Amino acid sequence: MKTRDKIIQASITLFNEQGERNVTTNHIAAHLSISPGNLYYHFRNKEDVILSIYEEYAGSLLLETFPKVSTKVKPLDTIILYMDAVFQITMKFRFFYSNLPVLLDKNPSLREKYVEVQHAIADRVSQLLTSLRTENIINFEDEELVDMVSILRLINTFWLSFYQTQNIVNEINDSVFFQGVLKILVILRPYTTKASLPELLKARDMYQQRYQDALSTV
């Protein structure tokens, strides 16, 4: 692995474990047994490291994992799989999401990139919901679409932060992630048409089972 990539990977780990606020570029360099000067050869400062993490990893992943709407995948599964993927990404880069408004305020380049990715995601979720309505899988009023997209994205983005603030001790493991997907299914359930409800409930049972399994392996 190249030094630049080592710095990025170590930063993700340290930020997640210790909180971004508590980790300096000196800590990162010490962790990798490289000199601070070597780190500064690759990155201007900590903000630059965080920007690179988002640009090269988190943001790109969010855009790349968007499932293609295909005839092979059931349309309802397409949105569930996407929500699933997004929750996995927020867990992988959780330091980023637990501090999001503050990090964006400190870093205009990061904000610009983040907003750009968010708008692309909003467009895609919106298209996906519209195509689910066209196929008579879910039903909603036109004027609800924008809010539904916001609500799904809000839950995607902040579910982990919410979870982390609900108890004295919070261990982050797969059960947390399955709980997040279950929240999305609860949101979609009352919008689901009668014909498609069995499919949604099947997905819910599956994630419920995965959640139980993840709990018991902790």
Interface ranges with its own copies (CB under 8 A): 19, 21, 98-102, 104-106, 111-112, 114-115, 118, 140, 144, 147-148, 150-151, 153-155, 157-159, 161-162, 164-168, 182-183, 186-187, 189-191
Are 191 and 140 spatial neighbours (Cβ–Cβ below 8 Å)? yes
Indicate the residue type of 171.
E
The alpha carbon of 150 is separated from its chain's Cα centroid by a whole number of angstroms, namely 14
CB of 167 to its own copies, least distance (A): 6
For its own copies, the closer of residues 186 and 215 by Cβ is 186
Distance CA 40, CA 139 (A): 53
Are 50 and 56 spatial neighbours (Cβ–Cβ below 8 Å)? no
For its own copies, the closer of residues 9 and 161 by Cβ is 161
CB of 17 to its own copies, least distance (A): 11
CB of 30 to its own copies, least distance (A): 22
Cα angle, residue 93 at apex, residues 52 and 67 outer, rounded to 5°: 90
CB of 115 to its own copies, least distance (A): 6
Phi, psi of 35 (to 5 degrees): -80, 150
Distance CA 142, CA 204 (A): 26
For its own copies, the closer of residues 38 and 106 by Cβ is 106
For its own copies, the closer of residues 34 and 199 by Cβ is 199
CB of 7 to its own copies, least distance (A): 22
Are 180 and 87 spatial neighbours (Cβ–Cβ below 8 Å)? yes
For its own copies, the closer of residues 5 and 205 by Cβ is 205
CB of 33 to its own copies, least distance (A): 27
For its own copies, the closer of residues 4 and 153 by Cβ is 153
Contacts of 172 (CB under 8 A, 6+ apart): 91, 94, 160, 163, 164
Alpha-carbon torsion (132, 136, 142, 147), positive or negative: negative
